[in-house]
Structure 1
Amino acid sequence: MLKVDDIQLSFGGVRALQGVSFEAAPGEITGIIGPNGAGKTSLFNVISGFYKPDNGTVTVEGQDISGLKPDARAALGIARTFQNIALFRGMTVLDNIKLGCHTRLNANVWSALRYFGSAQKEELELRRDLEERVIDFLEIDHVRKAPITALPYGLQKRVELGRALAMKPKILLLDEPVAGMNREETADMARFILDVQEQFGTTILLVEHDMHMVMDICSRVVVLNFGQQIAQGTPQEVAQSKEVIDAYLGQAA
């Protein structure tokens, strides 16, 4: 589904990524782990088109998308969440989620401005789809009309996941989806991520520091350290790698 080949990225004299290469199989969850500053979010920005790498290619279903802009990649089915919540705080839950559907709308500018005919029909159908497929799925129907600012942190992260799911993505990039959450919220989010994989068959890339969650839900894990890829394999293989233990996991006490 996704192939990253020899990605190199520099910011001035800082080499953020140095020859990173891996593949994400269709319908599987691939974890990207490593210390702070390892290049994980930079890698997501390359895949989603926000950064243009110095070298290397990104391929989706055999198509080289390295030259495409972020909106074109989104139209191909790449969606993401962000390390820091990036919701529109003056809007409701439903309106934030609806924004994820912009790549699926076909009405022209004039009908959209008048909100008449095809534009109105399209949005009403879209809203019904979101309520059934996303809002009920994420169990947030009780807050769908609430402003984002009225929600606790864990629910805001769930809304951000909902906005990404509204795009009906083939590939979903989750950047630290449980950062700052308590145990109950983390367990809920892990359950939703597994349900996305199972029910929608979505290919998921997951950046996360919660190693228990990574080891439990990921099929494969890629490890970065100072921009270099130091290991990849199953969670069990990565957990036993001496280089990974020295760089990131540490020895058990």
Structure 2
Amino acid sequence: MHAIASPAAPASKGRESPGLSLSVNDVALRFGGIHALRNVSFSAEPGQITALIGPNGAGKTSVFNTISGFYPPTSGTVSLGGQDITRTPVNARAGMGLARTFQNIALFHGLSVLENIKLGGHHTMSTGVLSALTYSRAAREQELKLREEVERKVIDFLQIDHIRHQSVDVLPYGLQKRVELARALAMRPRVLLLDEPVAGMNREETEDMARFILDVQEEWGVTVLLVEHDMGMVMDISNHVVVLNFGEVIASGTPAEVRSHPQVIEAYLGADSA
């Protein structure tokens, strides 16, 4: 993959809610006698792109599920913006600005692109359940406001206006991945977790997605933590890289530092990648 941009730390361009820091502190995770994570610690700095890499089975998805709240850690803590969220429910983390995409596309089939994206923003609406069920005036106004925001800030941003009324079922894989990113952005994230955002994509789709991720960082000021196997993209767009192997952090640093780390070369990149 060709170089896309120099990953300098951006300044938020007037965004009301800039990115938050995300810290994983001595997190261990066990399933019975299996140690999925062993004292994992790293930080994703505000407004930067941090990549989490490692071989299959290294524990990357376990880290994401712990940060998201799907797995409670056996020990250790997770902090968002300096606040301990280790025991915070999943839905409350979304309200604090944590959004996520999934390795396997998790769109709602039978719904349009616009409907799928709007679902990401419904947690931002303040009308209660009764108002929503009866579609009160307040609920209608908030729904229209949400749609306007989604169309103006997300759909235009990701260049998917031409498909917004299509069912997600008929879209090619690359566009489905872009719609999933759009739904996460509709949540107004301050920290965005991207689980293999370019898996299964061809070169052109990968480069498009990489540019969108950079734009999210630079124009929205969002903190990005991504898991990805495409080393070309990781090294091109990341400010910081954390390497896992067998549930432990074996290296952490800039892309250049990680690329030349002996343990990383042995465990992941291959002996001829230095």
TM-score normalized by the length of structure 2:
0.91
Q: C-alpha separation between the residues in 1 aligned to 2:142 and 2:258? A: 47
**What do you get for the CA RMSD once the two structures are aligned?**
0.8
1:186 pairs with 2:199:
no
Identity in percent: 64
Selected match of 1:159 from 176, 179, 182: 179
Q: Which residue of 1 aligns with 2:226?
A: 206
- The Cα of 1:109 is off from its aligned counterpart by 1.7
1:118 pairs with 2:102:
no
SS of 1:128's equivalent in the other structure is: helix
SS of 1:138's equivalent in the other structure is: coil
1:23 pairs with 2:43:
yes
1:138 pairs with 2:158:
yes
Q: C-alpha separation between the residues in 2 aligned to 1:46 and 1:108? A: 29
TM-score normalized by the length of structure 1:
0.99
Give the partner amino acid of 2:229.
H
SS of 2:213's equivalent in the other structure is: helix
Q: Which residue of 1 aligns with 2:11?
A: none
Q: Which residue of 2 aligns with 1:236?
A: 256
SS of 1:168's equivalent in the other structure is: coil
- The Cα of 1:12 is off from its aligned counterpart by 1.4
Q: C-alpha separation between the residues in 1 aligned to 2:212 and 2:129? A: 35
Give the partner amino acid of 2:22.
L
- The Cα of 1:202 is off from its aligned counterpart by 0.2
Q: C-alpha separation between the residues in 2 aligned to 1:133 and 1:97? A: 12
1:58-137 equivalent positions in 2, closer than 5 A: 58-137=78-157
Q: C-alpha separation between the residues in 2 aligned to 1:5 and 1:179? A: 28
Q: C-alpha separation between the residues in 1 aligned to 2:157 and 2:81? A: 27
Q: Which residue of 2 aligns with 1:40?
A: 60
Q: Unaligned stretches of 5+ in structure 2?
A: 1-20
1:7 pairs with 2:6:
no
Q: C-alpha separation between the residues in 1 aligned to 2:182 and 2:237? A: 19
SS of 2:207's equivalent in the other structure is: helix
Over residues 179-218 of structure 1, what are the superposed CA-to-partner deviations in whole Å (9 max), with x where a residue is unaligned?
A: 0000000000000000000110000001000000000000
- The Cα of 1:116 is off from its aligned counterpart by 2.3
Give the partner amino acid of 1:124.
L
Give the partner amino acid of 1:219.
N
Give the partner amino acid of 1:63.
Q
Over residues 49-108 of structure 1, what are the superposed CA-to-partner deviations in whole Å (9 max), with x where a residue is unaligned?
A: 000000000011111011101001111000000000000111110110011012201111
Paired residues, number:
253
Q: C-alpha separation between the residues in 2 aligned to 1:30 and 1:109? A: 37
- The Cα of 1:117 is off from its aligned counterpart by 0.6
